[in-house]
Structure 1
Amino acid sequence: MYAYQCGELAVTGHFTAEQVTLTFSGKTLVLPHAMAASGARYADDLGNEFWGKGLKDATFTLAGDAPRTCSGSGEELPSPSTSL
């Protein structure tokens, strides 16, 4: 899981080869992997898109909104531990 600051949104992303799960503002958005000439692009048919350029820079677009420029540390966050 990686953390990004995308404009006013704090976003975390959990990436697999098939999809990214984004969490922000108490919401979760799952986007499937999409074709891209460069970088890792995830998008749906509604206009939501997360396009990463390495692990530090990305662009995040929510359907109907302007694209947000994202920046992150590029370091993987520790997995949340579960307590009994």
Structure 2
Amino acid sequence: MADLVGTELVSRSQAKRLLARCEQFQEVTLDFSRVSGIAPAFADEALRVWPGQHPGVVLRHSGASESVSARIERARRNGAGRS
């Protein structure tokens, strides 16, 4: 994600592009250390939908700011904030 320095990740299409071909691996780590924020749509697609479609891949994250970590946990817990 090095080319995303200071970027806000906002769309499902960004998540899909980011995770393209990641199903070829057993474990994937997303490094959010240079990402300034993520929107609910990105979080839902990357952290709830994609892992549900690829249960054989362990998806981890690192380097997330407090606000990005909160969005990640919300997406994993309840579908990016939807009830």
TM-score normalised by the chain length of structure 1 = 0.27
Pick 1 or 2: higher relative contact order, CA cutoff 8 A, min separation 6.
2
The structure in which a higher percent of residues are helix is 2
Larger Rg: 1
The structure in which a higher percent of residues are strand is 1
TM-score normalised by the chain length of structure 2 = 0.27
